[in-house]
Amino acid sequence: MPFRERYTGLINRYRDHLPVSDDTRIISLGEGNTPLIRLKNIPQMLGKDVDIYVKYEGLNPTGSFKDRGMTMAVTKAVEEGSNAIICASTGNTSAAAAAYAARAGITAFVLIPEGKIAMGKLAQAMMYGAVTIQIRGNFDEGMELVKQVAEQAPVTIVNSVNPYRLQGQKTAAFEIVEELGRAPDYHCLPVGNAGNITAHWIGYCEYSAQKGTRVTESCAFCDGNCRYAGGPVIGSRPVMIGYQAAGSAPFVRGEAVKNPDTVATAIRIGNPQSWDRAWKVKEESGGWFDELSDADILAAQKLLAQREGIFCEPASAASIGGVMRDVQSGRIPEGSTIVCTLTGNGLKDPDTAIKQCGDSRMVTIDANLASVKDAILGIL
């Protein structure tokens, strides 16, 4: 007898809230169930009375929240008889698609923008055995091509336009509510295609509503009679805040951005696929969108690593940088409980990390005791 039930992934955990049946063959790598870590030093630095938690999605099996959506999307693709999946990706979707396809024994095709995905993500797509198609173009162009080719070839799209993706991703909100015993006051995320902010909102709405009601207009499955609603805490939902990179901020501009650019490659998207849904999230939750410069994003990434011991990728740090600014200004009031989603693991993008640590404390010395001693005593 095991001491406690073995965790076997989010579909098994939240079966009653997801579009699966008892006969569904589940494709899982044990995704979900990620730590919710309470920050200690950054709130103190801000000098404000706020509780900030980070949901460390970088600890999913392929190192990003995309696994939550991909376990659902691939499970349903296989259930529906598909032998191949396809996605356009800034990197993490391709890593997740490749891994879950490998697990399922089907083929993954991934379209990535040449030269614009982080090294770790490229390594993953190749290692998991996806057919990796680099395009001389950006994510938005890749996305359009994927939608067109899926009409002419027997491949299932597993980008977040696939509604099962958001169904899987909504479970992050369930986990947060269960752990806090309520929804946070504010939930902050980096926004690219805007699937994840929408998925979280669906999750919070369902968990705070009675079964059989309309929970949110943002949900593709909501017909006014939600089958998946009903959670442990009724009537508790956060304000949703989406942060974008300034060079890639269509929600802040109010229109698509032609040539998006940012060091945070995971959110280098100018034409978000969940445009309408994400606006509804903002309206229904009373939230907002805002932008950060690349410098602010990188500073937040480094601060989180050096003050809290948590290494996320640049895109993920947008939520930390944004929260710091909004807490400082009082837009997020004192007394608030805040959750930031750390969407991906810092190890995904070692190049950007090393580059911005040029001023680091690395020294090179001869291999003898005196030199090591000098190096240490010079710092202490």
Residues that bind ligand PLP (CB under 6 A): 64, 66, 92, 160, 190-196, 266-267, 313, 315-316, 343-344
Please, which residues bridge with residue 52 across strands? 338
Nearer to ligand PLP, 221 or 275 (CB): 275
Report in angstroms how near the CB of residue 172 gets to ligand PLP at its nearest. Answer: 11
Nearer to ligand PLP, 120 or 230 (CB): 120
CA dihedral sign, ordered 14, 200, 159, 273: positive
Cα 20 from Cα 171, distance rounded (Å):
14
Nearer to ligand PLP, 18 or 194 (CB): 194
Nearer to ligand PLP, 197 or 230 (CB): 197
Nearer to ligand PLP, 230 or 324 (CB): 324
Report in angstroms how near the CB of residue 196 gets to ligand PLP at its nearest. Answer: 3
Report in angstroms how near the CB of residue 275 gets to ligand PLP at its nearest. Answer: 11
Q: Are 241 and 286 in contact (CB under 8 A)?
A: no
Nearer to ligand PLP, 199 or 332 (CB): 199
Nearer to ligand PLP, 113 or 230 (CB): 113
Report in angstroms how near the CB of residue 95 gets to ligand PLP at its nearest. Answer: 9
Report in angstroms how near the CB of residue 158 gets to ligand PLP at its nearest. Answer: 12
CB atoms within 10 A of CB 286: 10
Cα 78 from Cα 191, distance rounded (Å):
29
Report in angstroms how near the CB of residue 344 gets to ligand PLP at its nearest. Answer: 3
Report in angstroms how near the CB of residue 90 gets to ligand PLP at its nearest. Answer: 7
**Which residue's CB atom is positioned nearest to ligand PLP?**
344
How many CA atoms, within 13 angstroms, populate the side-chain half-sphere of residue 82?
22
